């Protein structure tokens, strides 16, 4: 498995975890509904935002790990 494929896999995993995590927390959805405009479904905006944050954190973690690991 190439390093790029491994990073992509962890990015997708992090995005999925963030997306599912947001959908399981309705209190955050209420906050997003007051903080963001009403032109798009607030739960989708929040889920995408959480997914991006989760994927960024997991990608950073894996890239740090990959650069420290010697072959």
What's the rounded Cα separation, in Å, for the pair 71 and 68? 10
Structural domain of residue 11, as residue ranges? 3-68
- In whole angstroms, how far apart are CA 5 and each of 1, 9, 26, 49, 62? 6, 6, 33, 23, 12
pLDDT at 71 over 70: no
Number of domains in the chain: 1
Collapsing DSSP states into helix, strand and coil, what is residue 7?
helix
Does 48 score more than 80 pLDDT?
Answer: no
Rounded mean pLDDT of the chain? 76
pLDDT above 80 for 56: yes
| DSSP structural state of residue 36 | S
| pLDDT per residue as tens digits for the range 2-21 | 878 888 888 888 888 778 77
The predicted pLDDT at position 29 comes to 66
Do 7 and 66 form a contact (C-beta atoms < 8 A)?
yes
Report the pLDDT value the prediction gives residue 59, as an integer from 0 to 100: 83
């Amino acid at each position: 498995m190439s390093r790029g494929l491994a990073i992509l896999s962890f990015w997708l995993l992090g995005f999925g975890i963030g997306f599912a995590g947001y959908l399981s927390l309705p209190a955050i959805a209420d906050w997003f509904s007051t903080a963001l405009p009403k032109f798009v479904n607030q739960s989708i905006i929040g889920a995408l935002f959480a997914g991006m944050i989760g994927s960024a954190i997991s990608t950073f973690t894996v890239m740090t790990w990959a650069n420290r690991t010697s072959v």
